[in-house]
Amino acid sequence: MARITPLSGFPEWLPDGRVVEQHVLDVLRRTFELHGFAGIETRAVEPLDQLLRKGETSKEVYVLHRLQAEDEEDATAPRSEKQLGLHFDLTVPFARYVLENAGRLAFPFKRYQIQKVWRGERPQDGRFREFTQADIDVVGAGELPYHYEVELPLVMAEALGALRDVGVPAVRVLVNNRKVAEGFYRGLGIEDVEGVLRQIDKLDKIGAEQVAALLVSEQGATAQQAGACLDLAAISGSDATVVSRVRALADEHGAGTELLDEGLGELAALIEAAAARAPGVVVADLKIARGLDYYTGSVYETVLVGHEDLGSICSGGRYDTLASDGKNTYPGVGLSVGVSRLVSRLLSAGLLAATRGVPTSVLVAVSDEESRATSDAVAAALRARGIPADVAPTAAKFGKQIKFADRRGIPFVWFPGEEHQVKDIRTGDQVAADPAVWAPPAEDLHPRVVPAV
């Protein structure tokens, strides 16, 4: 018998962990729907050429392969056309979905999408090969008003904030604007904007000195240019002084450009609105770069306060050309929550817990197998009134039946008889009860997620 071993990067929760995950998903969905996002699901696979366009060559895509096709396939040379790959995010499939259904959708189109995605990268703490993302996006036809770039991160902040009462830490949404960075870099005379962003992104990990060295050695920047880039990246804050500080820095280096001004205008609007609608949550941070090359405006990253080591649990940005069929383009903005990353940390850090791993609120004991029908009838009466009930598997000694409930966190055990009785096994209280009217306290009706003490 081959030994069963865990498969790295493919997380599976125990039932009580699933209760936590399901709660997170429920809260996200409820908030998204409150804001008018329509739910969709796209297929798990996309043609490989769709997934790999936009120069996403570094993406580790799982390719789908029919076992029976092995013989037929090796001869065929070009294997990009019909090959299928599992999607590695929900944004690219959504862009395809928009193009495919453009004639039937109403724009601006707001949608949420919660699905598994797959990436072949090496797994680590909080990094998986199979994980769940919860996305919201808005796309417009031809154009998309800027105010959506303000609203989307605020919707996310609200959704994640709605989890605070079960013990999820506060979140901080870090925002930047591609136009600011690009405008500034070009003003400095730097050509390789992408390369500089990539190095700047390493700031937290390797420090300013190393990044400066890399900018000179890898991107061919002068020491002055590198210094200016680092000065820009050092700017952060949640009020309008951020914008004036960037302006001052640009003036100092003669790096003012039209693009920079446009970006600063947008960033200012975002900070201002966020300060009013979600004080203290949104922070401008000019070192936020984002690796994905299709972002053109605002970019977002979100960290759990106190768990910055986990990295971003929710990120996204504005994209203008992702969904384009040549004639029509559908610019969009969206963010994606790494649900698996979030839940894995919540559970591993013991920040919260489920009250139980089974739905059952009441276990109906069985006195002896001859009277099992009596117990079944009690359970049926409870279920008919919406009370999750289960019947003991065997007519074991009552001590064992209570233990059965205790092991599963079931709070109540029902003893049928001349006079029915129900026992709260946490307190030991046992009272006479009628299957037709008795109900558990509301907080014991269903499993709940509660903060760890």
Q: Does 421 bind RNA (CB under 7 A)?
A: yes
Helix (H) or strand (E) holding 71: helix 70-73
Q: Does 403 bind RNA (CB under 7 A)?
A: yes
Q: Does 57 bind RNA (CB under 7 A)?
A: no
Stretch that binds RNA, among 153-161, 227-235, 248-256, 287-295 (CB under 7 A): 287-295
**How many whole angstroms separate alpha carbon 335 and alpha carbon 312?**
11
* 248-273 exposure pattern, b = at least 16 Cβ within 10 A, e = fewer: ebbeebebebebbeebbebbbbbbeb
Site for RNA in 177-206 (CB under 7 A): 198, 201-202, 205
Query: How many angstroms separate the Cα of 415 from the Cα of each of 331, 352, 399?
Result: 63, 32, 12
| Contacts with 117 (C-beta within 8 Å, 6 or more apart), sequence order | 86, 87, 88, 89, 90, 130, 131, 132, 133
Among 425, 439, 445, 450, interactor with RNA by CB under 7 A: 425
Among 83, 115, 225, 315, interactor with RNA by CB under 7 A: 315
Site for RNA in 160-179 (CB under 7 A): none
DSSP state at residue 335: E
> CA torsion, points 123, 129, 132, 138, in degrees to nearest 10?
100
Site for RNA in 82-101 (CB under 7 A): 89
CB of 147 to RNA, least distance (A): 23
Among 297, 334, 338, 435, interactor with RNA by CB under 7 A: 338
**How many whole angstroms separate alpha carbon 264 and alpha carbon 120?**
37
Among 87, 245, 253, 341, interactor with RNA by CB under 7 A: 341
Q: Does 318 bind RNA (CB under 7 A)?
A: no
Q: Which is nearer to RNA, 110 or 119 (CB)?
A: 119
Q: Does 27 bind RNA (CB under 7 A)?
A: no
Provide the token pair at 173: 């949404």
Stretch that binds RNA, among 98-106, 169-177, 270-278, 290-298 (CB under 7 A): 290-298
φ/ψ of residue 418, rounded to 5: -50, -50
Stretch that binds RNA, among 23-31, 105-113, 143-151, 406-414 (CB under 7 A): 406-414
- Report helix, strand or coil for 79: coil
**How many whole angstroms separate alpha carbon 292 and alpha carbon 55?**
10
**For helices 147-161 and 15-34, what crossing angle results, to 10°?**
140
Please check whether residue 349 is in contact with residue 338, taking contact to mean a CB–CB distance below 8 angstroms. no
Q: Does 6 bind RNA (CB under 7 A)?
A: yes
Among 340, 360, 361, 375, interactor with RNA by CB under 7 A: 340
Q: Does 103 bind RNA (CB under 7 A)?
A: no
The amino acid at residue 252 is: E
Q: Which is nearer to RNA, 43 or 122 (CB)?
A: 122
Q: Which is nearer to RNA, 3 or 327 (CB)?
A: 3
- CA Rg, the chain, in Å? 27
Q: Show the site string, 209-248: x = touches RNA by CB under 7 A, - = not.
A: ----------------------------------------
Positions in the binding site for RNA (CB under 7 A): 3, 5-9, 58-59, 89, 119, 121-129, 131, 133, 198, 201-202, 205, 290-292, 301, 311-316, 336-338, 340-342, 367-368, 397-400, 402-403, 406-407, 413, 415, 421, 423, 425-426, 428, 430
